[in-house]
Structure formats: C-alpha cells, structure tokens
Amino acid sequence: MITAALRQLVETANAHAQQCNDGKDHTVAAALLTRSGQTVLGVNAFHFLGGPCGEISALANHAATCADDPIDAIVAVYGPTGQVISPCGKCRQVLFDIDPAIQCVVRGSNGLEALTVSELLPHAYDWRAMERPQQVFMWEGYESAIRDGSKRQTIRVDDPFRPGSAQLVFEKESGETITLDANITSVLATRRCDLTEEHAQRDGFASLADLHEALDMHYPGLEMEDSIDIVAFELSNPAGCSPSPQD
C-alpha cells in the first residue's frame, strides 16, 4: 500500500507513458516527486548504441528545472501495458548516488509498494563510504573492556581493516547502537596458532585459552592454521568517553 501522493505520481507517470509511447524507441516514462511536491517527468530514448532510461531522463529534467528541490520518490511505467516497472541496475546505482533514501514505487507480491534505493540495491557501491571512518563492529560484551583500556585489539577473520580513523560500533540487543571514535594503529596478518599470551592480554582476556574460547564463539569452525588479522586500536577520547547513538 502506498500513500495518496505516490498514487498520484503513478497516475501521472502512466498518463505520460501512454502519451509518449510509440511502441519502439519511447516506451518507458518516469515521474519523480520532489520535496516541495513538484512532479518532474521523463521518457526513455532507446538506441542500439544505448540510450537513457526514463528515470535518467527525469533526473536530467530535474537538474535543469529544480535542482535545489530534493527528490523524494520516483516511479517508472511501461507504456504499452501501463505496468509499473522496477528501475534497472544502472538506474538504481545512479539514484543511490544521488540519495539512498529516495523511494522507488515497485510492484510487490501484494501490489504497489515504496522501497528506498538502499533496499533495492543492497551492498551498493557507496562513494560516501570512502570519506567516512572505518566501522569496526564489536560484540556489546566488550564495551566496558574497551572503555577501560583493557581491550586494545580485536581479532578478525575475512574482515579487512587498515590503519587510520575508525568507529567502534556496538549494536546492542536492546536495539540501541553505540559508537566510539577510535584510531586503528596497526593490522598484523598471522595465523591463529601463532597467537600468544601477550595477544590474549591485549585483547582483554586473562589467558590464551580464554581468547581461543572467544574465537570459537565468534568464528565457529576456525582452524588453528587459518589466517587472522590482529587489529590494534586506541580510543580517540579514552578519558570519560560517552556513548554516541548512531543514526
């Protein structure tokens, strides 16, 4: 079920698709809804060398007419049948690059629904992520040891990091997410069998046996000869750091 505003957007896109449909080169129309309530239309232009989709055409018209009015939603309609169609992979990436929160009207199993571009394109390439600190997800049981400085490293398997700024992220069972600003000071590639008592202590454990028990909990099936990364870190503000809820 979609909102009244999105229903109107679908109707407008459908009317534009019927008007522009020539059964050959112009068969898909798109309509996007801006934050202020404006509707911007577009139509595809097929060519054997490649041509813009209806969504791309609508985005170009948006850029030309009201670029400062953010896009809230978009829908594409196939002219010959009047069917709402999902954006192709290229259009999903373009929309994601503009704003991952843009809503796309698509046909689901129970009718029309609105999904964000992020939902339509999981694990998308995100250029914004290149400018953000690395996120190191931690089990909430380690938070106190990290805060008091007794845990100064984490052991990772198939989870690569690099020295530099980072955020330690605790996703709690309560639903709360806490982040601590940190800096990754070093990353050492080694094998599980080469871990020592010193590594265990830096990881906040009383003994190497305790560390191996934790590794078995986090990485079931991890063999002694398997490769691991020892990721050392330090908090950016270790004295009196306070929880920072993450959006």
Report the catalytic residues: 55
* Burial letters 134-147, b for 16+ CB under 10 A, else e: bebebeeebbeebb
Q: What own/partner pairs with CB < 8 Å and gap ≥ 24 does 106-115 have?
A: 107/83, 110/1, 111/1, 112/1, 112/2, 112/6, 112/10, 112/84, 113/1, 113/2, 114/2, 114/3, 114/6, 114/73
Q: Which residue has the tokens 């938070």?
A: 143
Please report which helix (H) or strand (E) contains residue 3, including its range.
none
Give me 86's structure tokens.
């999902």
Cβ of 72: how many Cβ atoms within 10 Å? 19
CA 204, 209, 212, 217 dihedral sign is: negative
